[in-house]
Structure 1
Amino acid sequence: MENRNEGKVAVVTGAGGTLCSEMARSLASQGYKVALLGRTIEKLKIVEEQIQNNGGIAVSISVDVSDRQSIISANEIIKEKLGICSVLINGAGGNQPDALTNITEFDERELEETPEVKGFFNLDMDIFQNVINVNTMGTVIPSFVFGKEMAKQKEGVIINIASMNSYRPLSKVGAYGMAKAGIANFTQWLAGYLAPANIRVNAIAPGFFLNERSLKIMYNEDGSQTDRAINVLGHTPMKRFGEASELIGCMNWLIDANAAAFVTGIVVPVDGGFLASSGV
């Protein structure tokens, strides 16, 4: 049976991470030639090797997704080695510890620069801004560069990675939440704009999935759940964290030119029911 994806090129940013590496491996198994983009080449090379060991084609490129020239240079390499991008997964982003508060409401002590209290008023604004920049422009710029290639071909699919923060603000993560709310809006705007070019733009909003960073937030050193994990699971009807593989069905639907031919401008939650539950 002919593989209708053979020869097509998928670009995955943040491909060294837990969720997007799973997406990259799945795309490769479906016949896509996959460009793995991210900041840390060592993490990308691990995914590249896994893909190649399974008979797939992948190329790793270290980039700064928030820098236009970096993505333009990556696009030239991809065109030379793989071809024109037809699927773009904008998964790069994330948070930084110094952009998080360790309290959930105002505390007088944050006005006094008390070391043990990290509130909004003693956050580093440069780091706060950097989180917003990486998560927003890190989606806009790849869409700008690779979307232009798609527009020339008059076809393509862009999938952005949104968040539960896209729907409602979660405590402690003001910068990240602000950015991910912007991703939902940008997804809708870009979908409307690119529809005449036959490019569909949607987003997946993962609920609470565990990765290297969130493991430290959700579990204590002794393996017990933190208060935040207990709180999250208390608001999740399925009472567990998601597995990276559980995003693949949604991704496959959104990239399918037949199954999702009339689907653009939506944000799909994959969250174990988190958004459906008030916890009360």
Structure 2
Amino acid sequence: MSDLILNKLFSLKDRVAVVTGGSGVLGGAMAKGLALAGARVVVLGRNEARASAVVSDITANGGESMAVLADISDRSQLEIAREAIIQRWDQIDILVNMAGGNIPAATITPDATIFDMPHTAFEEVVSLNLLGTLLPSQVFGQAMVERNQPSGCIVNISSMSAIRAISRVVGYSAAKAGIDNFTRWLAVELAQKYGDGMRVNAIAPGFFIGEQNRDLLLNADGSLTERGQKIIEHTPAGRFGKPDELLSTLIWLCSSGSSFVNGVVIPVDGGFSIYSGV
């Protein structure tokens, strides 16, 4: 296959990509990866300094990028962000719903039970992840379908906890399982009503070290915690993932190379999801 064909299949040149949570470890890597594939990247987050740092990295490497401050749980802020993006680049082609996370109160510690968890904490983490995927999909997806010829790609972020019972993270697991279902539902909805130019898929990362899980998986000296050791034992690759290892799957899902791929959840997990432990 010639380089010309490969570039046509996987180039994101002149496409505008919005990455929510683009200032985090994984979100930042995704934003930079999309830029390297040719996309003009919007780093959307709440921390101006961190978002601007990602933008600076992208522009220093010859890419085009802008930081936009918005809370994914606030529709009005997202609508203002959408207008700012349209004003600058006239379109939105790609949405990566990376923003999300967990909160301690929705996690069952070893000395607690499900009966101790406040239902308000469960509501909060479900809202952060599931509604934090729904609202950007509505706001930025609307810009995609209102074009003369509707087209766009939404990539949601799932989790190993959506498909396997992983102890402690009850609220996060329920939210991510909801994202899997929402991905499939929205893929059907948009394709049937707006045509095959609209696609929705998801990536289910395995275990990567980020801000929220570092202390759960690694000790201060970099050695594995007990929980980290269990995860590695159940990962055939025998290690945690590296943020850049998400990029090829992301670029593929956002490119014309996956034009007939819709409604799927792709694990990038070193084999964790298929290993029984035996």
User: Does 1:165 find its partner at 2:192?
Assistant: no
Question: How far has the Cα of 1:221 moved from its partner?
Answer: 2.1
Q: Who is 1:51 aligned against? A: 58
Partner of 1:246: 245
Using the TM superposition, give the Cα deviation of residue 215 of structure 1 relative to its aligned residue in structure 2, in angstroms: 1.4
Give the partner amino acid of 1:249: S
- Asked if structure 1 preserves the Cα contact closer than 8 Å seen for 2:152 and 2:198, the reply is yes
Structure 1: gaps of 5 or more residues: 104-116
What corresponds to 1:143 in structure 2?
137
Rounded to whole Å, the distance in 2 between the matches of 1:202 and 1:16 is: 22
Q: Tell whether the 8 Å contact from 2:156 to 2:201 is kept in structure 1 after alignment.
A: yes
Question: Secondary structure in 2 aligned to 1:200?
Answer: strand
Note the C-alpha offset of 1:139: 0.5
Runs (4+) off by over 6 Å: none
AA paired with 1:29? L
- CA displacement at 1:79 relative to structure 2: 0.8
| Relative contact order, higher structure (CA 8 A, sep 6+) | 2
The residue that corresponds to 1:268 in the other structure is: 266
| Matching of residue 228 in structure 1 with residue 213 in structure 2 | no
Q: Within 2, Cα distance between the matches of 1:93 and 1:172?
A: 17
Q: Structure 2: which amino acid aligns with 1:199?
A: M
1:229 CA drift (Å) = 0.6
SS, match of residue 213 in structure 2:
helix
2:207–2:269 contact (8 Å) kept in structure 1:
yes
Shift of 1:46: 0.9
Unpaired segments of 5 or more residues in structure 2?
A: none
Of 74, 80, 88, 1:73 maps to 80
- After superposition, what is the alpha-carbon deviation per residue over 1:108-136, rounded to whole angstroms, capped at 9, x for unaligned? xxxxxxxxx34323333323211110100
Judge conservation of contact 2:101–2:212 (CA < 8 Å) in 1. no
Partner of 1:121: 115
In 1, distance between residues paired with 2:113 and 2:221?
27
Q: Distance in 2 between matches of 1:8 and 1:276?
A: 34
Question: What are the Cα deviations for residues 49-70 of structure 1, in whole angstroms up to 9, with x where unaligned?
Answer: 1011112111111211022111
Aligned to 1:14: 21
Distance apart, 1:254 and its partner CA: 0.8
Q: How many residues align?
A: 266
Equivalent AA in structure 1 for residue 28 of structure 2: S
Please give the root-mean-square deviation of Cα atoms over the aligned residues, in Å.
1.6
Q: CA deviation at 1:236?
A: 0.5
Structure 1 range deviating more: 83-92 or 178-187: 83-92
Compared CA separation, residues 67 and 18, structure 1 to 2 (3 A): same
- Which residue number in structure 1 is paired with residue 199 of structure 2? 200
* Aligned residue type for 2:265: V
8 A Cα contact 2:12 2:255, kept in partner: no
Q: How far apart are the structure 1 equivalents of 2:165 and 2:44?
A: 29
Name the stretch that deviates more: 261-270 or 214-223: 214-223
Counterpart for residue 41 of structure 1: 48
Q: Percent identity?
A: 42
Code of the aligned partner of 1:191: A
Q: Distance in 1 between matches of 2:187 and 2:233?
A: 34
| Deviation for aligned residue 1:176 | 0.3
Which residue identity does 1:226 align to in structure 2?
A: T
Trace 1:99-118 onto structure 2 (pairs within 5 A).
99-103=106-110, 117-118=111-112
CA distance in 2 between counterparts of 1:136 and 1:7 reads 30
The question of 1:25 aligning with 2:25 is answered no
Q: Higher mean Cα deviation, 169-178 or 211-220?
A: 211-220
